[in-house]
Amino acid sequence: MFVQEIVDVGGRKVDLRRAGQGPPVLYLHSAVGDFWGPEFLEPLTQRFEVICPAHPGFGESGGIEEIADIEDMAFHYSDLIDAIGAEKPHLIGLSFGGWIAAEVAVRWPDRLKSLCLIDALGLWIEHKPIPTIWGIEPAELVSLLFEDQSHPLAQLLISIDLDDPPPEEILLQFISSQAATARVGWDPYLHDPKLESRLHRISCPSLVCWGEKDQLVAADYGRLYSEKIGGARLETMPGGHLGALENPEKISRLLSDFLS
């Protein structure tokens, strides 16, 4: 069971969850706010200490006013690793969190034991542009994120109708997470033009996992990440952009095999 903890990182409050014992695994969540300790991480808690922080602006984490771009977010997580004493963690990132994980890895490759990117944002391919995620109806957003739109999280997003608002707590969390993501990914749109040319700096063992039916970040992006990171292995899994949440068994097996 994941237990909530509030830690101080350079004067910024960070809301995180921990479970298990052993070498540290640090999980960076997607823009839908899955920092509670998603199901696919549970098997890892038998052999690792799994740590799931909420990004600034998500959950009860503060400090978003100090984050102006993706580099600020990367330095925030470097500071977090120091603050919680997670020496050489295995770093896992999903979607938006995968982009952050890649930015951490290119700057401090020696600080990581391994890296796993799951349907990561962060790159840009001209002939495969990433569809917009802002200014569209919740149902359209869900169709980009999930293959299985009956998933509980998909249904929660669909229920967010600004003309007929859901409970205030859910609405405020949605608006806050959208604003925090936009603060980093508005311009350039959900990518860092310098990241691709820096991926060769990643020296730790690396795994790239991609949903077979990702409608937001096409499979070409997974191939590009795996080609640019030396020695990276590319694996596909069922589901859409958030296939790790839709099909936790498959990604759990991939992660367990990789980390062992």
Instruction: Please state which architecture CATH assigns to domain 3-259.
Output: 3-Layer(aba) Sandwich (3.40)
Are the beta carbons of 71 and 190 closer than 8 angstroms?
Answer: no
What SS3 class is residue 164? strand
Q: What is the pLDDT of residues 144-195, one digit of tens each?
A: 999 998 988 888 888 876 566 656 666 677 788 888 999 999 999 999 999 9
Q: What is the mean pLDDT of residues 244-252?
A: 95
C-alpha distance from residue 202 to each of 82, 106, 116 (Å): 20, 5, 12
Q: Mean pLDDT throughout 229-255?
A: 96
Residue 179: count of CB within 10 angstroms of its CB: 12
* Locus of tokens 């730790």: 204
d(CA 50, CA 45): 6
Could you tell me the residue ranges of all domains in the chain?
A: 3-259
Residue 211 · residue 119 · CB < 8 Å: yes
User: pTM (2 decimals)?
Assistant: 0.96
176 CB neighbour count, 10 Å cutoff: 16
